[in-house]
Amino acid sequence: MSYPFADVSERSLAELLSLEGRTAVITGGVQGLGRAIALRLAEAGAQIAIADLDPKKATDAAAAVESEHGARAIGVRMDVTDSETVRTATDEIVESLGGVDVWVNNAGVFPSIPVLDMTDEQWDDVFAVNTRGVLNGSREAARRMTRGGVIVNVVSTAGFRGTAPGLSAYVGSKHAVRGMTKQMALEFAPNGIRVLGVAPSYVPTEGNMAMAEAAMAAAGIDAGNMPAAMTRSLIGRVGTPDDIARVVLFAASDLATIMTGTTLLADAGETI
């Protein structure tokens, strides 16, 4: 069996970083990390599809990406928990943009629920987005990546260790995604598809602030001390969405051709 990964050693740095001629799908790209990822991939030359729950917000976010970087961008409605909407939205993307080369499984939820209070439904809801969503997205992406491609799973340092109280479903789901990243890399390699995880530590985003405040309250920590309490950063500050987006760009680009199946910690040294 031949594994179709070209040796790109002779290419210039600019060529290796460029995503010209490629199309990137970002799930949950309306806000937070996904929005920053869409902007950097567009700056590198990719056409962008922002796939999120609310089609109006997805279209508005795509318009903002297009006006900032000039790359073609569209917004589509996609609920990653529902394989049917993932399939139909991907059909729409392929029809509008001509294919799929990079797929970023970024959509995620992180409700704070202590183990003793957790219902079956609450547990399943977290896994439906954070793990089945990755399965749905990756499966549809791999089916369309007829010329090879890259799948990037946004994991978390919660995929490596326990974190704040209340996040058992989240921690379990992100450990699962790290495992799925290894297994999908193995299964998709013959199709020229690399699969990588990127694991951020705490980065303030729209969705994350609400979770962090709830987790701090559960731990009895004053919300005013939240950034210091949430991070053991070695770089003197918490990460920004763009810090994470630049690592995703590296993973998606040909600079990282040698890498598949692993999860890159983008954590300011917090997990050492």
Candidates 103, 160, 202, 250; binder of ligand NAD (CB under 6 A) is 202
Is 37 one of the binding residues for ligand NAD (CB under 6 A)?
no
Whether 190 and 142 have beta carbons less than 8 Å apart is answered as no
Q: Which residues contact 183 (CB under 8 A, 6 or more apart)?
A: none
* d(C-alpha 246, C-alpha 36), whole Å: 9
Whether 134 and 89 have beta carbons less than 8 Å apart is answered as no
Handedness of CA 139, 144, 146, 150 (dihedral sign): negative
Is 109 one of the binding residues for ligand NAD (CB under 6 A)?
yes
For residues 13, 35, 63, 85, the Cα torsion angle rounded to the nearest 10 degrees is 110
Is 103 one of the binding residues for ligand NAD (CB under 6 A)?
no
Which of 110, 160, 170, 250 is catalytic? The answer is 170
Q: Indicate if 202 belongs to the active site.
A: no
Of 101-109, 161-169, 189-197, 245-253: span binding ligand NAD (CB under 6 A): 101-109
How many of the other CB atoms lie within 10 Å of CB of 91? 13
Is 240 one of the binding residues for ligand NAD (CB under 6 A)?
no
Report the nearest approach of ligand NAD to the CB of residue 54 (Å). 7
Is 166 one of the binding residues for ligand NAD (CB under 6 A)?
no
* Residue with Cβ nearer ligand NAD (156 or 181): 156
**Which residues of this chain interact with ligand NAD, rule CB under 6 A?**
27-28, 30-34, 52-53, 78-81, 106-110, 129, 133, 154, 156, 200, 202-203, 205-208
